[in-house]
Amino acid sequence: MSRLESKVAFITGAARGQGRSHAVRLAAEGADIVGIDICRQLDSVNYAMSTPDDLAETVRQVESRGGRMLGIEADVRDLDGMHAAVARGLREFGRLDIVLANAGVMTQSLPPHEKSRDAWRDGIDVLLTGVWHTLQATYQPLIDGARGGSIVITSSSQGLRPFFSDLSGGFDSYAAAKAGVIGLMRSYAATLAEWNIRVNSIHPTGVNTPMVVNEFFGEYMEKSNPKTAARVVNALPVELVEPIDVSEAVLYLVCESGRYVTGTCLPVDAGLVFAG
């Protein structure tokens, strides 16, 4: 029997990158997927964001492996929209067991940082408020299901040990939000434990996704202070991990293997945090 047979997972940022990998991996273990993504561009983001076609491709990949997926265009910054997306998922599949608060962006601006205020606002709205919205929209259905459950929040190695600031709203918002969601994780872990709902966070190093592998980010790092670049070198001899590496950590947390793991920060960082 598959490890997630009959389970339903709600995944934010599911159109591509880590979210797509999580959806496909959990579906391979028998889970039905409700996947949401904004599927449009934010002005403060300097790389191409996901599209409706990307979300459709995630659905196709899940279905090609025999799984079922409901893809919904929704914005984690919109609490009412999040409640509506969860309600659609419940109507479609009848239950909720797993929540992956994965949606993320990297808002950036090159000097003179003309987009700094917008980058701060959008970064906090997506990476921190968006996680809170995800928790708010899902905790009651998990409680009502009376079957326990698992919530995994995607933080970052930057949440465990901030490595630098470029003194602008982009990386500042990323560092603040990725640290902030640890507080949310621990608070919800403590509160939801009585219903056997576990809450954890994962902390990847750089992952081979369009958020990191793009022309703008490459240019940005080239123009960074060499001391800054030196702080973000993994201990293990790998520049980037793959999305599947993070998905396998998620799978451990949401399956029976992680049944007694809650309130925990799980690095998938190739040793970046201790080596940085």
Catalytic residue among 174, 188, 252, 260: 174
Please give, one letter per residue, the 3-state secondary structure of 197-225. EEEEEEEECCECCCCCCCHHHHHHHHHCC
Q: Do 128 and 181 touch, CB atoms closer than 8 A?
A: yes
Q: Do 96 and 145 touch, CB atoms closer than 8 A?
A: yes
Pairs from 181-187 (Cβ < 8 Å, separation ≥ 24) = 181/101, 181/127, 181/128, 181/131, 181/153, 181/155, 182/155, 182/265, 184/128, 184/131, 184/132, 184/135, 184/153, 185/153, 185/155, 185/263, 185/265, 186/263
Question: Which residues, 6+ apart, have CB-to-CB distance to 21 below 8 Å?
Answer: 243, 244, 246, 247
The C-alpha atoms of residue 145 and residue 161 are separated, in whole angstroms, by 36
174 is catalytic: yes
Type and span of the H or E element at 12: strand 8-12
DSSP 194: G
Give the residue numbers marked as catalytic: 174
